[in-house]
Amino acid sequence: MGERIYHTPNLERLLTYSPELHVLDTPEAVDRFTADQLIGQIQRKPNSVLTLPTGATPMGMYGLTIEAASNGLDVSGVTVFNLDEYWPLPEGHPASYARFMDENFFDHVSIPATQRHIPNCHAASPHAEADRYEALLRQRQVDLAILGIGPGDTCHVGFNEKKSGRRSRTRYVELDPQTRDANAQYFPDSSEMPRGAITQGVGNILEATRVVLVAKGQGKARGIQRTIQGPIGPDAPASYLRFHPNVTFIVDREAASLLQ
């Protein structure tokens, strides 16, 4: 049976919450504001469990968090679960999200390796690996999940592409062609780009105590409009975030430009 689409305005109003939306003038202001959410979470709760993204969007956030750590923020108690990882890729592949996290965050802060989790891009079976990751996630309550949003009208969160259900769990998925086009730039030879990935499900993401979705630039404008103002359903997996009682959207003016 397909996932139900919630489009009756009155019913939707009863079932959903009003997300907090911050529209900031510049991408740099988005980076600062997002980093402050992450840093504030770690200050309030030094043993926070975090779900974190990769990609272009969070680079500034990681840079500012590294700066805070070098100025005394203690991140050694934090546990990280990454949202997703390509599959299959050779271990240590430069475009793997494991490498991204090492180069852009973990190599610069003191989070012990045992507290960093990401699906294994070279596991023999992506299904068994997804089950292993799901079991790990189920042992912990995620305090804060920080997400980007997919390109074009994919409205993906993690790699939950269209048709992902509200209750979906960690699993192997096929990437949308728009996602493959947008991310091919990170592969020296685009034929090396995997067709699939292992991702936390929408259901996993919705279980976090707080969710923050970040978007910058014109390329995210359609997705943000669809996510915040369109019907909630599997055509726009990010729209399911409107079922979460504590979700914050942080966007720059360009990403907000189609909001009415």
Residues binding ligand F6R (CB under 6 A): 53-57, 83-84, 97, 148-150, 156-158
CB of 105 to ligand F6R, least distance (A): 12
Nearer Cβ to ligand F6R (45/180)? 180
88: preceding bond cis by omega (within 30 degrees): yes
158-168 burial code (b ≥16 CB/10 A, e <16): bbbbbebbbeb
CB of 11 to ligand F6R, least distance (A): 28
Nearer Cβ to ligand F6R (30/68)? 30
CB of 45 to ligand F6R, least distance (A): 23
Nearer Cβ to ligand F6R (54/227)? 54
> For 163, how many CA atoms within 13 A lie in the half-sphere containing its CB?
6
CB of 64 to ligand F6R, least distance (A): 16
Nearer Cβ to ligand F6R (93/156)? 156
Nearest-CB residue for ligand F6R: 148
Q: Phi, psi at residue 50, to the nearest 5°? A: -120, 140
Nearer Cβ to ligand F6R (34/79)? 34
| Interatomic CA distance for residues 67 and 84, integer angstroms | 25
Nearest to 17 by CA among 188, 180, 198, 241: 241
Helix (H, G, I), strand (E, B) or coil at 217: coil
